[in-house]
Chain A
Amino acid sequence: MNPTRTSARGANRGAHPRRRPATWLCAAVLASAGGARAQDESDEAFLRRTFARWDPNGDGRVTTEEYPGDADRFRSLDRDGDGVIDFDEFSKSGVARTLISAKRRDDAAPRRREDVDQLALRRIEAARRFDSNRDGRVTEREWNGTPQAFAELDLDRDGRIDQRDLQLARRRAPVDELPRLPDVKRRPDDVDQLLKRLDRNRDELLDERELARAGELGEGFAWADRDGDGQLDRDELNRLVSAVRQIVDARNRGDERPTAFRVPFSTWDDNGDGRLEAAEWKERKYLFPRIDQDRDAAVTKEEVERYRRAVEGKTFFERFDLDDDGRVTPTEFGGPPGAFRRLDTNRDGAITRGDG
């Protein structure tokens, strides 16, 4: 598509004349390593892996055809002007310094970004969606995304996204999965308790064998070992515990709807006033404010029954038709009046199966 050209005055003359570098740099970043493997790499290994992205034939020389950016930037990297960029030229460039800086920033981040090679593999696998003539490859003509997005997937630079690119992508992004957080059922202990229980050699670190004794939590060792040294220090343990707790806490707020609960009312009602105050409540704490509909800091039998119906009932009438007469009155509904009016389509003051 040719964008509508404005007049010479219309072009953004405030921009730096070499505006394209932003595009190129993006390509460089996307071609760089990100995510898990970057963390256990030296800077040189990281740069070599990045360089390899531009060098599909692996001859250590990146030609103008292989290079993803524009001619200006190629020339600025090809310092000796021999028509190819070698690793030495690349590693000493400002671009390399910028990439290293970004890598270090990511290493210190609270979580990993998605690995760019994994992303590229997923994208190439999905690209068949754009193969409109079903010939097994996506050409530039079939591609309706940006040229840059196309170039990111055309790994062999042959002007098509096809099986060969898929193979290249698979080689770069092995099938083995990224370390993941474990699916833990119980809320883990805090770090001090874990160390006390598991740190046999008292070195304030947990190796994989030590953590394995924590059960399911041990499955998170790879995820937590950010520096890849085979040991989890306090910071790494904190991250693991904190992340897992968030998942468990979210799950423990209940299933999609809370499960059934028991409230032996008279047994719990110590002061016999017919209401359960917070101190008398012995079920899950988070249920108390949910059940206390009138917000008077006490729960009555009626409120318990209403809530039981609301959570255990499968249909609207099971939840709200408390007297099972086939009519839900505003009192039974207990919800917003505006919603009640909407549901009471025949305006008879009750929601029945005939409404709607």
Chain B
Amino acid sequence: MVCSPDATPRRTARRLAAATLALASLAVAAFTTGMGRGGDRPARADGCVACHVGIEEIHPGFPLSCVDCHGGDGTATAREAAHVAPALALPGDERVLPQNRDLAWQRFRNPSNLRVAREVCGDCHREAVDNMLKSLHATTAGHLGDGFYEHGIVADKRPRFSIFPVRDDDGVVPDGALTATTQVPPFRRSGPRADIATHYTDLPRKACMHCHLYSEGRAVDGRLGMDGDYRGEGCAACHVTYADDGRSRSADRAADRLEPGHPMQHRFTSAIPTATCTRCHYGDASIGLHYRGMAQLVPGMPAGPDVDGTTDRLLNGTFYIQDRDLTPPDVHHQRGMHCIDCHTLTDVMGDGNIWPQMDHAVEIECTSCHGTFDRPSELMTSQGRRVRNLTREGNAFWLTSKVTGARHRVKQVVDVLDPKHPDYDARAAAAMTGDHARLECYTCHNGWNVSFFGFHFDRNEQFTQLDLLSGERTPGRVTTQEKVFATFNQLRLGINHEGMIAPYLVGFSTIGSARDADGELILHQATPQTAAGLSGVTLVPHQMHTTRPEARTCAECHRAPVVYGFGSVNFRLTREFGFAITRRSLHAIAVDTRTPARTQAIASVELEQELRALALRVDPVLARASVAYVADAAGGLTVVDVSTPSHPRAVRRLPDALVDPYRMVCQGDYLAVADGVGGVALFDVESPARPKPLGVVATTDARDIAWAWPWLFVADGAGGLTTIDARDPSAPRALASVDLNGGDAGQNEAVDVDLLFQLSRTFALDADGRRIGRTPARHLAFVATGLDGVRVVDVTDPRQPIVLFGPTARNAFSFERGDVRGVAVNTVFDLGSEGGGIRSRERDYLYVFVEEGADANRQQRVRVFDVTDPMSPRAVRDAAPRVYGGTGELLPFRAYNEPFLQHFVVAAGSGGLGTLVDVGRAATQGAAVAATWDDLAELRDLEFEELAFDRLQDERQHPIKDISHDGCRYLDRDELLRVFDAAVPPPVRYRTDPYGVAIEALAPDQDPDRRERTR
């Protein structure tokens, strides 16, 4: 029987019956003489089975002679005569052998090796093998190519690199496909040493050559401890099942059952389980892990059999997170489905075209099985091919697992939207309207999402490493660190190549460091730049494979600027320089992120007036400050060229540009000034040296601003918190002001504000984790309110901000005669306890600068609060280090010192320039002073250069981060404003006091609207 993909079910059944009959009578003969391939006279193999007694039939239904596939001499009775011996010494490592190396032996060892598959498997399965050789599983084109684009080495978003060159000579090359590829190039020795792109070229051939079909990966024969990695290569990579421990369970008496690296049995299968796919699909974007409810560990995270929320045994050499709250499995996996139950043969083995990236190569869509808003499934993929394991019986749709044979009823979207149907869901019906037809299903239905912000690679020329393609050991050991900013619930959206709104994920886009042969650091966390001049730290559209029926809330798309790439307080890395102003001077500060105590002022420029506020214009690609804007007490605005930090130089002063400046923020081409009683003033700084006044908004007493385009949030002194629509900076307008004191009647004193959009997080509801919920998503403003302490304001709808000040908050934010001058907010992945009693968790923290205590003993402290649940903020014990002489301003400061990301907060002005407080382990170790920078005195303002990983586009919708996939883009201005202006229900409702202050969040069953929507 020929298992042709083109065979119809009826023809196949007839053939099967005939083959079975033939088998019964020919079984013995087949083993001794072979059935032969393609009608050839069968080769004898009675010598083979004399030793390999009990060996399984490799190809059930169409028995093959051993020799027909493996070669050798089937009549020989001695092993040496029967087997094909290697002509060349075996390297014994994981290098990728050349295509033409000792083919006879390659074939003998594994006849499905891609180097010989055409001659062996291809004799019957010609089309499948030909397609396979051009597929992404063989070429790894996208995986290899993206990084070259991101580092500006190639200018084409469809790079033509693969493991081995391949050509498409069939005369049919659709749009977007390639006609040929070349082998991924080796390290560019002649490249500039100070260019990160040069060092990047050493990475693919040393670190990325494990997961493709031309090798068995890391788990070479005999290598112990590679559980989860053992697999075959070529067709056998998928079609032959390996146990996790790589040991044979074959009935073949000659099989070595101790040495790892052998298939479980000598048998092909087309019922390929998920475990086979995840022999490779567990690294990088980690689809295989996520699908199963697992994720890579965060550096330093406790894990193991004694630690809840992690796996109990080593797989791929490590433990994994497996936490039903943090990383619930994809619902399809929960239902017992395997990868190939969705993914078609074409998805996996290719369609005969050379696609440069996965976007075009995968034909299965959610709608293929679940239908669309308007129509049930048509049983077809996006490319018009039949989904063969999907059937329709009346109005019911059934998917039969290719692996288990189980039948799964497939809900249809049209039924979910039909009030008369038992599958109807009112909440879904409210959301799944025509306006949402441009969304991929998994945009709303992605459960959680790691995003490797800060992905870093390191190249060290003190050591050598094997180039896996050339087989030579060359200088430069490369390692990668994916988990720099550990996060599990990020969401970033953009447009994919099909014009659909889809989630974006950090792809293989890295910053990099390099050391020379003497160990000297050549490059430290250098940032790549594409040929288009944009940042190469890219995000690409991605299917997370964490599908959950519980969709994200409306606010996460419609009220969340961070989701569209305008940046957040998180995912920022402090760089080499900061700048500070004292009474009359601007100072350049050399920042040491490795040894913070060595941070020092290095240069200064004296200015004429008494200085008040500072803002840096930072090149978002290289994260280097070019210009500093300095506001003075006389209302002037001075431009200082800081592009050479050792020589800051005043360029120009605009007198009378301002009234009463307190703080400034520079975002993209705009400068926003909290101008006291002068309101909020906006300037166009597209020409950095020539700020142009745009618009001014009247507020009460603007003291500080936070910007989340199109909105500004103002700590407005006696005016409380004021929100502003700044979509058109030349015509900004106030939206609302909220009294932060409600019924307490005290005069407001809002002096500092920071923002955080809390995306929803998954959590399990019952002991089995079967019902997964989501925490609310909301946009929060944290306000320092002087004598009144701290206020948290839900600003999800900027037109209706709601103060959250229930009993818990009142209690938490009470200080002894406190005067709160500054706040900063930060998200940290807290590592759990060694014994597992305390789980590792992602938490949001608020840092508060407070002056407190009796009159005779006023003290300044930085206090830390867990605000993960903003209705119930909780003071962190032992997290109140004392500082001296601070201005009140708090700045986050983050340093990546491999393998850990260190979180600090700087109390500006304390001790002189500032005091660095370590808050990285606040939950378990409190907070403590790490360094005091006592350069300077009378500090007025301070700002550091930062690389903002999640700023994808600026406030003019100019891209900052490139996208390495063709046809993809960010949402444009019109699209964004349509999204933000859409009317959506609030994500959470509150019980409020008579003054509108929220004292309690309503549970979903208390929310009358939610009850109605989910009846």
Contacts and interface: CB of A to CB of B under 8 A. Distances in A.
Interface stretch (A40-48, A242-250, A263-271): A242-250
Interface stretch (B233-241, B488-496, B716-724): B716-724
A341 B800 CA distance: 49
A26 B577 CA distance: 43
A256 B585 contact: yes
B194 interface: yes
Given A26-B720, A123-B677, A335 B600 contact: yes
A3 B885 contact: no
A297 B172 CA distance: 76
B745 A1 contact: no
A242 B858 contact: yes
A146 B722 contact: yes
A134 interface: no
Contacts of B600: 310, 335
Nearest to B994: A16
Contacts of B1012: 9
Interface in B851-880: 851, 855-858
A144 interface: yes
A13 B1012 CA distance: 13
Interface in B730-745: 731-739, 741-745
Interface stretch (A82-90, A112-120, A180-188, A194-202): A112-120
A122 interface: yes
B937 A113 contact: no
B524 A256 contact: no
B737 A146 contact: yes
Interface in A69-121: 95, 98-99, 101-102, 105-106, 109-111, 113-114, 116, 119
A51 to B, nearest CB: 15
A246 B986 contact: no
A254 B937 contact: yes
A238 B677 contact: no
Given A23-B739, A28-B745, A144-B698, A351 B646 contact: yes
Nearest to A338: B576
Interface in B579-593: 582-585, 590-593
B855 A238 contact: yes
Contacts of A7: 983
B358 to A, nearest CB: 36
B316 interface: no
Contacts of B568: none
Interface stretch (B196-204, B211-219, B286-294, B746-754): B746-754
A19 B739 contact: no
Contact of A12 (B583, B601, B802): B802
Contacts of B244: none
Given A22-B996, A102-B745, A242-B858, A111 B819 contact: yes
A205 interface: no
Contacts of A334: 598
A129 B659 contact: yes
Q: How large is the interface on A (under 10, 10 to 19, 20 to 34, 35 or more residues)?
A: 35 or more
Interface residues of B, number: 105
A45 B836 CA distance: 63
B885 A29 contact: no
Contact of B937 (A99, A239, A250): A250
A251 interface: yes
Interface string A253-275: 11111100000000000000000
Given A4-B983, A129-B678, A145-B734, A336 B697 contact: no
Nearest to A314: B604
Contact of A110 (B722, B733, B819): B819
A21 B989 CA distance: 20
Given A102-B744, A256-B582, A335-B590, A109 B817 contact: yes
A253 B746 contact: no
A148 to B, nearest CB: 6
Chain B contact residues, majority secondary structure: loop
Chain A contact residues, majority secondary structure: helix
A145 B991 contact: no
A30 interface: yes
Contacts of B953: none
Contacts of B800: 3, 12
A29 B645 contact: no
B734 A289 contact: no
B599 A336 contact: yes
B855 A110 contact: yes
A106 B802 contact: no
Interface stretch (A53-61, A171-179, A208-216, A315-323): A315-323
Given A26-B748, A129-B659, A21 B733 contact: no
10 shortest A-B CB distances, which residue pairs?
A145-B698, A356-B644, A336-B592, A339-B590, A26-B739, A316-B646, A238-B856, A22-B995, A256-B582, A14-B989
24 contacts: A14-B1007, A15-B996, A16-B993, A22-B738, A22-B739, A29-B745, A34-B747, A105-B746, A109-B787, A110-B858, A116-B718, A119-B701, A125-B677, A126-B676, A129-B659, A143-B698, A144-B698, A149-B719, A239-B855, A257-B936, A336-B591, A336-B595, A336-B598, A343-B645
Interface of B: 194, 521, 524, 575-577, 582-585, 590-595, 597-604, 624, 643-647, 659-660, 676-679, 695-701, 717-720, 722, 725, 731-739, 741-749, 786-787, 799-800, 802, 817, 819, 851, 855-858, 885, 912, 934-938, 981, 983-986, 989-997, 1002, 1007-1009, 1012
Given A106-B747, A356-B647, 13 more contacts: A14-B991, A21-B994, A26-B739, A102-B745, A106-B746, A110-B819, A116-B718, A126-B677, A256-B582, A295-B597, A316-B646, A338-B576, A342-B577
